[in-house]
Homo-oligomer: A and B are copies of this chain.
Amino acid sequence: MAAIGLRTFRKTGFWWLRGNPWAPLSAGFCSRGPGPRPTSARQRDGIRNIVLSDPKRRNALSLAMLKSLQRDILHEAESGDLKVIVISAEGPVFSSGHDLKELTDEQSPEYHAEVFQTCSEVMMLIQNHPVPVIAMVNGLATAAGCQLVASCDIAVASDKSSFATPGVNIGLFCSTPAVALGRTVPRKVALQMLFTGEPISAEEALLHGLLSKVVPEGRLEEETMRIARKIASLSRPVVSLGKATFYKQLPQDLRTAYHLTSQTMVDNVALRDGQEGIKAFIQKRKPVWSQPDALTRWPHRLMGRARLV
C-alpha cells in the first residue's frame, strides 16, 4: 500500500524538481554544482525548496549532507527575495538520521564531535533563520531525521509518515534529537519514544505537537505549497521580526516577555509594511508590501546566527 503510494509519488514527482517552470535563480545559487551534492535546492516566487536527495542511503544526515543542507539554508538568507523555505526528501524515508559509519571508532572523537556539532548548528540555524522553515514529510523520519522535523517552524506530513528516535536500540541514545523532541511533545510521549525506540504515527505526532498538519499523501505537496505561498505573499520584514521575537520571548518570564513584545509591536507598527498593512485594512484594499531588496534592511540585531558562513 505504502509502496504503491510511493510509486505514484515518484511518478508524479515534485513539480519544483522539474526544470522548466522556474524563473532564473539568483546569481550563483544552484546547489547542483560540479560535484554531486546530497541536497538540491531551487527557488521561485520567494519559496526555496530544499530536497534531501540521497534516497539510496535513506537520506542519512552524513556530515556532507548536513553541510550541504546548511549551505542551502544559509544561501542569501538576507535577501528579500527569499520568503520561506520548504525542506522535503526524495524516496520513502525522509531521513534516517546520522550516518552510523561516521560514528565508529575508525574516526576520532574529534570527528564525532564535529558531526554532532554541525547537526546542532543546522537545527539552531532553522530556528534562527529570518524566514519560516517548513518540513514537508512523506515517509519515515528517525533519530536526527525526526529532530530535523521537530526543529522546523512548521511541519506538514502525509498520513503514512511516522516518527521515531530508535537510537537506544543500537546503544546510541537520541540525546540531541531529544532536545528538539522534548520542546515539541509532552515529556511522557518523548520518553516513551526515546526509551523504547518505537515509532509514532503521523496522527499521534499531530496530536502531541510534533506536526502542524497531517494530510493524505496525495494532498501533501498541494497543502504544503499552499502554506508556503501564503507566507510568501506576506511582508518579509514583518514575518522575520515576528519569528525572531517568538523564539526569544518563549523561555522568558511573563513580565519580561510582555515588555519585549510590547516594544516589538510598537516597532512593527512603525515599519513601513506595518503602516501599509493597517491602512490597507482600514481602506479595504490589498496591501502593497516593500519590494524585495538585495540588502533588505530588516533588523540585523534579530538575525542571531543566521548569517552566511
Q: Which residues of A contact B (CB under 8 A)?
A: 100-101, 103-105, 109, 112-113, 116-117, 119-120, 123-124, 127, 132, 153-155, 168-176, 178-179, 182-192, 194-198, 207-213, 227, 230-231, 234-235, 238-239, 241-243, 245-246, 249-251, 253-255, 257-259, 261-266, 268-271, 273-282, 287, 289
List 27 A-B pairs, Cβ < 8 Å.
A101-B282, A113-B266, A116-B266, A117-B262, A132-B195, A154-B188, A168-B242, A169-B234, A171-B268, A173-B239, A173-B241, A175-B246, A176-B264, A178-B245, A179-B249, A179-B254, A179-B257, A179-B261, A182-B246, A183-B254, A187-B209, A188-B212, A191-B246, A192-B212, A192-B227, A195-B243, A251-B253
* Nearest CB of B to A90, in Å: 23
Whether the Cβ atoms of B132 and A238 lie closer than 8 Å is no
Return chain B residues, CB-CB under 8 Å to A105. 275
B117, B187, B190, B254: the one contacting A124 at CB < 8 Å is B254
Docked-complex contact A246 and B212, CB < 8 angstroms: no
Whether the pair A212, B189 counts as a contact (CB closer than 8 A) is: yes
Q: Is the CB of A276 within 8 A of B175?
A: no
CA distance A305 to B197 in the complex (A): 27
- Chain B residue numbers with a CB within 8 Å of A278 are 100, 103-104, 170-172
Q: Is the CB of A235 within 8 A of B171?
A: yes
Closest to A256 in B: B179
Bound Cα distance from A270 to B192, whole angstroms: 25
In the complex, A274→B253 CA distance in Å? 31
What residues of B have a CB within 8 angstroms of the CB of A175 in the complex?
Answer: 241-242, 245-246, 249, 261, 264-265, 268
Shortest Cβ gap from A154 to chain B (Å):
5
CB neighbours (8 Å) of A261 from chain B are 116, 120, 175-176, 178-179
Most B Cβ at <10 Å: residue of A153, A186, A269, A282 = A269
Interface contact A209-B212, CB-CB below 8 Å: no
Name 20 extra pairs, CB < 8 A, besides A120-B258, A173-B238. A109-B269, A119-B262, A132-B191, A132-B195, A153-B188, A154-B191, A154-B192, A168-B234, A170-B281, A171-B289, A175-B242, A175-B261, A175-B265, A176-B258, A178-B249, A182-B249, A184-B186, A190-B246, A192-B213, A195-B227
